[in-house]
Structure 1
Amino acid sequence: MVRNIDFIFFDLDHTLWDFESNSKIALKNTFDKFVQNRYPLITYKNFEQTYEAINLDLWDKYRKKLITVEDLKMKRFKNTFEKFDVRLNDSAIEEINEFYLFDLSEQTALIEHTEYILEKLSKKYELGILTNGFKETQIRKMKNSGIDKYFSVLVSSDEANAIKPDRKIFDYAVNETKHKHENILYIGDDLENDIIAGKKAGLQGIWLNILSDERHPEVETVLSLKELETLL
């Protein structure tokens, strides 16, 4: 049971901002601009599947500190094109990645009940964002989707020079508030990297599991954002 909460941090992607829907649109727009006419033998389905597998693997390596953030940004598209025997120089890859990130931040789909619960909780608590995403992109996402007004603090992995589940990013986030670890709640969709890691750092946690009806026996769990109003 959560108690004595003074400040609430939310994860952004997959928790409030609908990354799955928005990223599909941005990736398709990127494909249409840089691939479709130049490399007609590459289908979008194959490009999407290849990119998503490579991107997932690189994010895993980034979380484990095996690669840098710059490696992540460069290699996800570079490695994808190379799977189709297309070799592009670094400036071309940078252009593609910058286009994708900008287009991604222009998308505005939110997880169901996001605005409802933020409006409700912002009247009772100070709210912040704690994200592994890139700060500049995350700021644009929040502004374009109209939810930036609810938050007083935004902590990103590139700013904190640490990435969840590293305790350093949680300590950095706490230091950005005026509150103690034990009086801060973290709400996110990733059980291991958000909630369990946050609890190890001394924060309270609620796992948002919108993908199934599983409730963790030792972790406060909600199956929708709206369910948060029964706990807070």
Structure 2
Amino acid sequence: MSQYKHLFFDLDNTLWNFTENARSALFDVYTTYNLNRYYPEFDSYFNQFEENNVALWRLYGADKITKEFLNTERFLAPLRKFGILNEPLARAMSTFYLEQCCEKTAVMPNTFSTLDYLKPHYDLYIISNGFKEVQYKKLKKSGLSGYFNKIFLSEEVGHHKPKPEFFAHMFSVSNAQKKDSLVIGDNFEADIEGAMNFGIDQVYYSADSSQTLIKQPTYTIHNLSELCSFL
């Protein structure tokens, strides 16, 4: 019998396939706004966007930039290379991109079968740094909403993962205890180190089986179905 009662899942690239869905949404932006005028190949645009996006999300997670700046800058930066400084255009592209993301429904392998197995035995929660106007829609559209007792979003909590205030809030609301809780996520810094530093057991969902880790999580999996072997 598992010692755990409360399972806290990250959303993006843990359950909802962010890599596939975001790429598809960005391709919609690329075609709708005729960005082949500047980037003849979608991959070149995608790589430029992704480089900026990753850096901006790190700054956002550290509270160094606003959500509004992130959303505008990640679309403005690839255009700026061509002398285009049209912020209203970048904001329109961002709005369209987020709308398209909400329509995408790809999930990680074995998501539904794993949740079906876990739901009767555990209280399940979502913990995410994603934007609130997007995450709820993504959960509903992809059929994930009904599995979870509570959704914890950093915008609503007032703190981002991996800050201890985020984890303290989720415990105060869920009435869970550290000893019977497990955090499951793909982001080592936000999910795993955040939980580790707060004294919660963790499951690192790693897509790279050859990855070398300096700190060892409580568990490491490479497919969600592996949760069923110890929960």
Aligned to 1:120: 117
Q: Give the Cα–Cα distance (whole angstroms) in 1 for the partners of residues 70 and 210 of structure 2.
A: 33
Kept after mapping to 2: 8 A contact 1:12/1:131: yes
Deviations 1:126-146 (A, max 9, x none): 101001111221111111111
Match of 1:78 in 2: 76
The question of 1:139 aligning with 2:136 is answered yes
In 2: Cα distance, 1:58 partner to 1:186 partner: 25
Contact 1:215 1:221 (C-alpha < 8 Å) held by counterparts: no
Structure 1 ranges of 4+ moved more than 4 A: 213-217
Q: Structure 1-normalised TM-score?
A: 0.91
| CA offset digits 1:183-208 (Å, max 9, x no partner) | 22110012222112112112221111
Deviates most, 8-17 or 58-67: 58-67
Amino acid at match of 1:222: I
Which structure 2 residue ranges, 5 or more long, are not aligned? none
Q: Does the CA contact (< 8 Å) of 1:213 and 1:223 recur in 2?
A: no
Which 10-residue stretch deviates more, 102-111 or 167-176?
A: 167-176
Paired residue for 2:153? 156
Correspondence for 1:222: 221
Residue in structure 2 matched with residue 167 of structure 1 by the alignment: 164
Q: Deviations over 1:74-94 (max 9, x none)?
A: 2111222112221213x3322
Is contact 1:188–1:195 with CA below 8 Å preserved after alignment? yes
Query: CA-atom RMSD, angstroms?
Result: 1.9
Q: How many residues align?
A: 228
Alignment partners' CA distance in 2, 1:140 and 1:226: 25
Contact 2:22 2:101 in 1 (8 A): yes
> Which residue of 2 is the match for residue 23 of structure 1?
22
Query: Are 1:167 and 1:201, in contact at CA under 8 Å, matched by a contact in 2?
Result: yes
When structure 1 is superposed on structure 2, of 145-154 and 189-198 the one drifting more is: 189-198
1:212 paired residue among 209, 215, 218? 209
Change (3 A) 1:78 1:160: same
Per-residue deviation, 1:95: 1.6
Query: Which residue is equivalent to 2:39?
Result: 42
Deviates more, 1:26-35 or 1:175-184: 175-184
In the alignment, the residues of structure 2 paired with residue 85 and residue 56 of structure 1 have an alpha-carbon distance, to the nearest angstrom, of 22
Report if the CA contact (8 A) 2:162-2:194 is conserved: yes
Structure 1 pair 97/180, CA: closer, same or farther in 2 (3 Å)? same
Deviation per CA, 1:124-182, whole angstroms, max 9, x where unpaired? Answer: 00101001111221111111111111011111121122112211111122222122233
Task: Report the identity percentage.
Answer: 30
Q: For residues 61-113 of structure 1, what are the alpha-carbon distances to aligned partners after superposition, in whole Å with 9 as ceiling and x for unaligned?
A: 11222212222112111222112221213x33222111101101111111100
- Check conservation: 2:183, 2:191, Cα contact below 8 A: yes
Counterpart-to-counterpart distance in 1, 2:141 and 2:226: 25
